[in-house]
Structure 1
Amino acid sequence: MLERLPDDLARQAVTHSSWTDRRSDSYERLAFLGDSVLSLAVTTHLYPRLEADAYGAGRLTKIRAQAVSGRSCREVAERLGIPERLRLAAPESVAGPATEQLARTERVLASVIEAVIGAVYLEFGYLETADAVVEAFTPEIERSLVSPADFKSALQERLARRGTIVTYEIAAEEGPPHERTFEVVAMVEGEPLARGSGRSKKDAEQAAAEAALESLSA
């Protein structure tokens, strides 16, 4: 559906705010819209599939959060060729390492895929957009159902066997309020064990816990 978008919407969906004098011409507003459409489309897809007795609101929330996480959005963006679209859309004045960095950044790719969803919603309406979203995110949705990620619990259990506990500290916050990225440090006995980043504190903590588990297994 990206190929069917009008040129102005398609261009806006891959325009970083630093590439334009008017912030409203960037992907940010479209991403704000697309975030809600993505969440609703995945929720509506999951709700009738999962039995009420086994999947309460809390469990549904965790499954959806994994399916639409920054990491999931990045994977979808990469499958759809978004990094290359970003490279092609970049002004000549910023082409090169700076653009390459943006094209590899999870926060940027997640925002762009949300912007694309927002643009598709504006052009084609909810029903057609929801079908396209579910199709694009099917691998991520299925993975969240088969292998729910709870790295924090796994790390806590592993450390408990050693008689230690893990705490999480926010090391940095970047970006505007609607596009915030958090960096979290997993601390054990006052020492940093691993770092992780995400678009929410919970996502960042999960990423830090995952990295910590990998370091303990190395």
Structure 2
Amino acid sequence: MPPRSELEPSPVATSRAEALRELLDELPPELYRQVFAHASWAPSRAESYERLAFLGDVVLSLSVSTYLLPRFEEYGAGRLTKLRAQAVSGAACARVARALEVPERLRAAAPADHQRAVRALLESERVLASICEAVIGACYLAFGLERTAAAVLQAFGPEIERAIAEPFDFKSLLQERLARRSQTVEYRIEAEEGPPHKRRFVVVASAGGRDLGRGEGRSKKAAEQEAALAALERLEREDERDQGTPD
């Protein structure tokens, strides 16, 4: 989890989130309650924010992808994927969640006997990110894609610009994640294809005795970055499967 200072939204980000915050305030009461219902106190798991977060993740990805595609006509699919992944990362969603006043809203929505648990939940980037996605999913159900996507793009504008100006090093991110498991990543060249002037490399990232991700690129470094991104996405899916919940 990034330091708290990295999760805090800037004044500009808070201002940009105003349209999405207004949609959140306009939600029907039942949807609003579900957005801030953690599985530990919701009447049933299906009535917690998890299903809304599942939907919101798709809406967020579609909204950002639709924005990026015409803006960066020279980018290939791999580069667009990396840019989108950074713009909608857990840390990015957590910052938007804070701009939406999610911590304060979650405290207000939680039952009195769960307030201590709420303090722990709010320390989790994953929880903040999941509720941010739940907000987006609920707004989509209530107001449709066009209105929701416009508010989402405004709220995530600073995150998109951050991703453009300061692109992630996915190899470093993967190594940091694996270090928490006392593992190290290794990269091996699986194939070299094409003539010398148009060579393409296929690289596999592995750790703990298993292959985690595969990437292709015009250089070894580019292929390693793609393999690291694929590995990060796999680890994320495995974490969600093992926990049985997005938080």
Taking structure 2 as the reference length, what is the TM-score of the superposition?
Answer: 0.63
- 2:49 & 2:173 partners in 1: Cα distance? 37
What is the aligned partner in structure 2 of residue 191 from structure 1?
none
Aligned to 1:95, the other structure's residue is in SS state helix
Per-residue deviation at 1:147?
Answer: 1.2
> In 1, distance between residues paired with 2:131 and 2:177?
29
Matched, 1:135 2:137: no
Inter-CA distance 168–91: structure 2 relative to 1 (3 Å threshold): closer
Provide the secondary structure at the position in 2 that maps to 1:17: coil
> Alignment partner for residue 103 of structure 1, among 122, 138, 141?
122
Matched residue, 1:44: 66
Q: Does 2:37 match 1:15?
A: yes
User: Residue in 1 aligned with 2:96?
Assistant: 76
Specify whether residues 21 and 114 from structure 1 end up closer, same or farther in structure 2 by C-alpha distance, changes over 3 A only.
Answer: same
CA distance in 2, matches of 1:167, 1:78: 25
Q: Report if the CA contact (8 A) 1:69-1:203 is conserved.
A: no
The structural deviation recorded for 1:2 is 0.6
Q: 1:204 to 1:93 in 2, by over 3 A?
A: farther
Report the Cα distance in structure 2 between the residues aligned to 1:26 and 1:167, rounded to whole angstroms. Answer: 31
Name the Cα RMSD after superposition: 2.8
The percentage of aligned residue pairs carrying the same residue is: 55
Distance 1:33 1:138 in 2: 20
Partner of 1:149: 168
Aligned residues: 171
1:87–1:103 contact (8 Å) kept in structure 2 = no
Instruction: Tell whether 2:144 aligns with 1:114.
Output: no
- After superposition, the Cα gap between the structure-2 partners of 1:108 and 1:167, relative to the gap in structure 1 and judged at 3 Å, is closer
Question: By how many angstroms is 1:51 displaced?
Answer: 2.2
Q: What amino acid is the match of 1:133?
A: V
Q: Does 1:33 align with 2:55?
A: yes
Letter in 2 for 1:114: E
- Higher mean Cα deviation, 15-24 or 112-121? 15-24
The answer on 1:63 being equivalent to 2:83 is yes
1:4 corresponds to which letter in structure 2?
A: E
1:25 Cα deviation from its structure 2 partner: 1.0
3-state SS of paired residue (2:64): helix
Unaligned 5+ segments in structure 2 are 1-22, 186-229, 236-247
1:34 is displaced (CA, Å) by: 0.5
TM-score, scaled relative to structure 1: 0.71
The one-letter code sitting in structure 2 at the alignment partner of 1:121 is Y
Structure 1 unmatched ranges of 5 or more: 157-165, 172-182, 189-199, 206-218
Cα distance in structure 1, aligned partners of 2:63 and 2:111? 33
1:160-183 deviation line (CA, Å, top 9, x unaligned): xxxxxx6974x8xxxxxxxxxxx6
Helix, strand or coil at the partner of 1:19: coil
Deviation at 1:43, TM superposition (A): 0.3
Q: What residue identity is the alignment partner of 1:89?
A: A
Check 1:76–1:155 CA distance in 2 against 1; reply closer, same or farther (3 A cut). closer
The aligned amino acid for 1:69 is S
The answer to whether the 8 Å contact 1:168/1:185 transfers is: no
Q: CA deviation at 1:21?
A: 3.0
